[in-house]
């Protein structure tokens, strides 16, 4: 029944999905936190920049961003991200780039909502002992903010896991692309789809459960 | 504006902020200058590449039909997903185990799966088991994928909307002798709809954005796909991407603005119970957690 699976690297495809998720998660977490810091900073220009970034990027379809990285950045501008002749690596990195740029907008909003949950008194106390804005943010507010947004960030991470399938649009051999190939070439439509659906349930369900538990544990009780 | 994080600036802080502003401005200007330089180097700023967008032909042959298909798929998906979502949302709240459990499983299953997989499956399914013509098949596949995914998201929105109503509502309905079905249709649903409206409008943004998947993977002739044909004809890759991105941004900004206007109106309005669900992130997918409720997602501020 499962003979048709031979000749396809199923685990390899899901491994690419996992790698895409992890790299873009790290990238978007860093970029998103910087954007969130900008959006709450005392400098109006930075606040505006953060706001414009979030509202622009959030409203462009991810597919457009990823296809643009491939056709625009790579083909027209010759952006290779350090992988000039290895096509596989190049498109993988472009996909990570697109996913991170897109997801950062959502991470930024999640972190910012976390900053809003920190009581005003905490920041006031921190300022009263003479901490600067950067110190207030990095020593007092952000550590608490992160602990309270584990839940929303988990949602962003799960969405990111599913969004990695969009990389199929530029030929990155992750799960969705391999599924497309398989259902076009093999007769077992329902079975193949079920396998891939199951794969994504396996990837997202534990993420939700584990991080849900972590979120409850680390949340600051108020 | 005063904030949690910093005081109203005094003279020194004002001076410092001006320095930071100048630095950031310089950095920004440098970035923009660099981007323009690169574009000029690659010949992307030449007027011949941008000229098509000032003429009717590019719009009537490529962009407008693409936009029409995007809107058609989004509207169809919303119209079908909404009642389906409401049905499943209510089914998840049912008193009967045999209704509640299957509905929950279906909703959780379709939420866990990427829309693209659903579209691929639907496309292949239609080509094998039905005789839908191959011109129409991408539209059917895109709408099917969008409906399956968004109906399950909307089911959660509806469920959270109904749960957000005060318990007294259904108790009062019970007290005047309404049956369960009557309580739902004439007391709970109408009220929760006002609470859900902003989240529902925001879900439209997600649907509009996801139609682009069909364009990239299933050759559905929507806006992104139309951009490809346009760029093949005029050889203007970068300008065409910029124009298409702007169209998407404007379209979605109109929808989000409408959603937050609605939210503000409903919050003030006496008709609602005051419970307004936060829109689900306006994201491709980050889904509102029922009960997570009112995180400030920045649109109101």
Residues B37 and B70 reside in one and the same domain: no
CA–CA dist B228, B245 (Å, integer): 13
Residues whose CB is less than 8 angstroms from the CB of residue B114 and which lie 6 or more positions away in sequence, other chains included: A162, A163, A165, A176, A200
pLDDT-derived band at B273, boundaries 50, 70, 90: low
Range of weakest confidence among B129-133, B175-179, B275-279:
B275-279
* Domain A3-218, CATH homologous superfamily name and number: MetI-like (1.10.3720.10)
Looking at chain B, list the stretches that DSSP marks H as alpha helix, in order from N- to C-terminal side: 11-41, 47-50, 56-58, 64-92, 97-112, 115-129, 137-163, 167-175, 180-182, 189-217, 223-234, 237-268
> Are the Cβ atoms of B238 and A76 closer than 8 angstroms?
yes
Q: Are B49 and B236 in contact (CB under 8 A)?
A: yes
Owning domain of residue B107: 47-269
CA–CA dist A158, B117 (Å, integer): 15
Residues B16 and B142 reside in one and the same domain: no
More confident residue, B270 or B99: B99
The residue of chain B with its CA nearest to that of A203 is B112
Nearest 5°: phi and psi at B55?
Answer: -110, 155
Tally of CB atoms within 10 A around B130: 10
Residue B1: inside a domain: no
* A67/chain B closest Cα distance in angstroms: 8
Using an 8 Å CB-CB cutoff, list chain B residues near A124. Answer: 4
> Are the Cβ atoms of B28 and A45 closer than 8 angstroms?
yes
Length of chain A (residues): 222
Residue B175: inside a domain: yes
The residue of chain A with its CA nearest to that of B38 is A77
pLDDT for the residue A87: 84
Range of weakest confidence among A161-175, B135-149, B279-293:
B279-293
Q: Which two tokens stand for residue B285?
A: 């997918």
Q: Which of A51, A55, A180 sits opposite B120 (nearest CB)?
A: A180
CA–CA dist A160, B117 (Å, integer): 15
> Are the Cβ atoms of A169 and B213 closer than 8 angstroms?
yes
Residues B162 and B257 reside in one and the same domain: yes
CA–CA dist B240, B52 (Å, integer): 10
Residues B25 and B157 reside in one and the same domain: no
Q: Are A105 and A111 in contact (CB under 8 A)?
A: no
pLDDT-derived band at B289, boundaries 50, 70, 90: very low
pLDDT-derived band at B75, boundaries 50, 70, 90: very high
* CATH code, B73: 1.10.3720.10
Residue B279: inside a domain: no
* A128/chain B closest Cα distance in angstroms: 10
Q: Which of B113, B217, B286 sits opposite A168 (nearest CB)?
A: B217
Q: Are A32 and A103 in contact (CB under 8 A)?
A: yes
pLDDT for the residue B278: 55
The residue of chain A with its CA nearest to that of B40 is A77
More confident residue, A60 or B288: A60
CA–CA dist B241, A74 (Å, integer): 14
Instruction: State yes or no: pLDDT of B293 exceeds 50.
Output: no
**Which residue carries 């003279």 as its tokens?**
B11
Residues B31 and B57 reside in one and the same domain: no
Instruction: State yes or no: pLDDT of B286 exceeds 60.
Output: no
Using an 8 Å CB-CB cutoff, list chain B residues near A137. Answer: 5
The DSSP line for A68-112 is HIIIIIIIIT---TT-SS-HHHHHHHHHHHHHHHHHHHHHHHHHH
Residues B238 and B107 reside in one and the same domain: yes
Residue B290: inside a domain: no
CA–CA dist A180, A168 (Å, integer): 9
- CA B262 and chain centroid, separation: 15
Nearest 5°: phi and psi at A86?
Answer: -95, 100
Instruction: State yes or no: pLDDT of B128 exceeds 70.
Output: yes
Using an 8 Å CB-CB cutoff, list chain B residues near A39. Answer: 298
Residue B234: inside a domain: yes
Mean pLDDT of B161-186: 90
> Are the Cβ atoms of A42 and B13 closer than 8 angstroms?
yes
Q: What is the DSSP letter of A140?
A: I
Residues B244 and B211 reside in one and the same domain: yes
Nearest 5°: phi and psi at B86?
Answer: -60, -45
pLDDT for the residue B291: 36
What mean pLDDT value characterizes chain B?
85
Residues whose CB is less than 8 angstroms from the CB of residue B153 and which lie 6 or more positions away in sequence, other chains included: B85, B111, B203, B206, B280, B287
Tally of CB atoms within 10 A around B250: 11
pLDDT for the residue B56: 85
CA–CA dist A132, A130 (Å, integer): 6
**Which residue carries 């991080």 as its tokens?**
A211
Q: Which of B117, B213, B215 to mutate to test the interface with A (most CBs of A within 10 A)?
A: B117
Instruction: State yes or no: pLDDT of B284 exceeds 80.
Output: no
Please report, for residues A24, A41, A160, B123, B240, the alpha-carbon distance to residue B245 in angstroms, rounded to integers and kept in the order given: 22, 28, 21, 26, 8
pLDDT-derived band at B4, boundaries 50, 70, 90: low
pLDDT for the residue B277: 61
The count of structural domains within chain B is 2
Tally of CB atoms within 10 A around B270: 5
Residues B17 and B59 reside in one and the same domain: no
The residue of chain B with its CA nearest to that of A208 is B112
Q: What is the pLDDT of residues B242-269, one digit of tens each?
A: 999 999 999 999 998 998 888 888 777 6
Instruction: State yes or no: pLDDT of B282 exceeds 50.
Output: no
**Sequential pLDDT tens for chain A (222 residues):** 677 777 888 899 999 999 999 999 999 999 999 999 999 888 899 999 999 999 999 999 999 999 999 998 888 888 877 777 788 899 999 999 999 999 999 999 999 999 988 888 888 888 888 888 889 889 999 999 999 899 899 999 999 999 999 999 999 999 999 999 999 888 889 999 999 999 999 999 899 899 989 988 888 777
pTM: 0.88
Residues B56 and B94 reside in one and the same domain: yes
The residue of chain B with its CA nearest to that of A137 is B5
Domain ranges in chain A are 3-218
> Are the Cβ atoms of A58 and B241 closer than 8 angstroms?
no
Q: Which of B117, B217, B287 sits opposite A196 (nearest CB)?
A: B117
Residue B256: inside a domain: yes
Any A CB within 8 A of B301 CB: no
pLDDT-derived band at B297, boundaries 50, 70, 90: very low
Instruction: State yes or no: pLDDT of B285 exceeds 70.
Output: no
CA–CA dist B48, B238 (Å, integer): 13
Instruction: State yes or no: pLDDT of B200 exceeds 90.
Output: no
Residues B105 and B30 reside in one and the same domain: no
Q: Which of A43, A56, A106 sits opposite B283 (nearest CB)?
A: A106
Instruction: State yes or no: pLDDT of B147 exceeds 50.
Output: yes
Residues B20 and B152 reside in one and the same domain: no
pLDDT-derived band at B12, boundaries 50, 70, 90: confident
Residues B82 and B120 reside in one and the same domain: yes
């Amino acid at each position: 029944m499962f003979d048709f699976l031979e000749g396809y690297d199923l685990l390899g495809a899901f491994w690419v999905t996992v790698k895409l998720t992890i790299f873009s998660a790290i990238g978007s977490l860093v970029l998103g936190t910087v954007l969130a810091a900008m959006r709450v900073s005392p400098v109006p220009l930075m606040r505006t920049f953060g706001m414009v970034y979030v509202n622009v990027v959030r409203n462009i379809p991810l597919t457009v961003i990823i296809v643009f990285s491939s056709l625009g950045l790579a083909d027209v501008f010759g952006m290779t991200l350090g992988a000039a002749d290895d096509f596989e690596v190049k498109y993988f990195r472009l996909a990570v780039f697109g996913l991170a740029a897109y997801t950062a907008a959502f991470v930024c909003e999640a972190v910012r909502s976390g900053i809003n949950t920190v009581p005003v008194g905490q920041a006031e106390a921190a300022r009263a002992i003479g901490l600067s804005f950067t110190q207030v943010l990095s020593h007092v507010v952000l550590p608490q903010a992160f602990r309270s947004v584990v839940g929303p960030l988990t949602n962003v991470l799960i969405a990111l896991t599913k969004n990695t399938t969009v990389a199929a649009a530029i030929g990155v051999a992750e799960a969705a692309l391999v599924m497309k190939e398989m259902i076009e070439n093999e007769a077992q439509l329902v079975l193949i789809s079920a396998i891939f659906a199951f794969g994504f349930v396996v990837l997202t369900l534990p993420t939700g459960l584990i991080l849900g538990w972590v979120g409850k544990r680390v949340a600051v009780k108020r | 504006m005063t904030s949690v994080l910093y005081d109203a600036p005094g003279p020194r802080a004002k001076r410092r902020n001006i320095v930071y502003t100048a630095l950031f401005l310089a950095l920004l200007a440098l970035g923009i200058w660099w981007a323009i330089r690169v574009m000029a180097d690659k010949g992307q700023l030449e007027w011949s590449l941008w000229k098509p967008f000032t003429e009717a032909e590019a719009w009537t042959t490529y962009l407008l039909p693409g936009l029409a298909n995007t809107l058609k798929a989004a509207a169809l998906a919303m119209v079908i997903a909404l009642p389906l979502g409401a049905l499943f949302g209510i089914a998840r709240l049912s008193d009967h185990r045999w209704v509640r459990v299957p509905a929950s499983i279906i909703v959780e299953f379709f939420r866990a799966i990427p829309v693209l997989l659903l579209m691929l499956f639907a496309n292949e399914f239609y080509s094998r088991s039905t005789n839908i013509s191959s011109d129409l098949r991408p539209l059917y596949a895109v709408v099917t994928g969008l409906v399956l995914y968004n109906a399950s998201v909307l089911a959660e929105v509806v469920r959270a909307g109904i749960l957000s109503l005060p318990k007294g509502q259904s108790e009062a309905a019970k007290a005047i002798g309404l049956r369960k079905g009557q309580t739902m249709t004439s007391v709970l649903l109408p009220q929760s709809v006002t609470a859900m409206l902003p989240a529902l409008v925001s879900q439209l943004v997600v649907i509009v954005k996801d139609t682009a998947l069909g364009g990239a993977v299933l050759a559905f002739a929507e806006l992104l796909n139309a951009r490809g044909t346009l760029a093949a004809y005029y050889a203007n890759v970068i300008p065409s991407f910029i124009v298409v991105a702007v169209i998407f941004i404007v379209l979605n900004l109109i929808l989000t603005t409408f959603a937050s206007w609605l939210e503000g109106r409903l919050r003030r309005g006496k008709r609602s119970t005051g419970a307004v669900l936060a829109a689900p992130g306006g994201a491709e997918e980050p889904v509102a957690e029922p009960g997570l409720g009112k995180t400030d997602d920045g649109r109101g501020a």
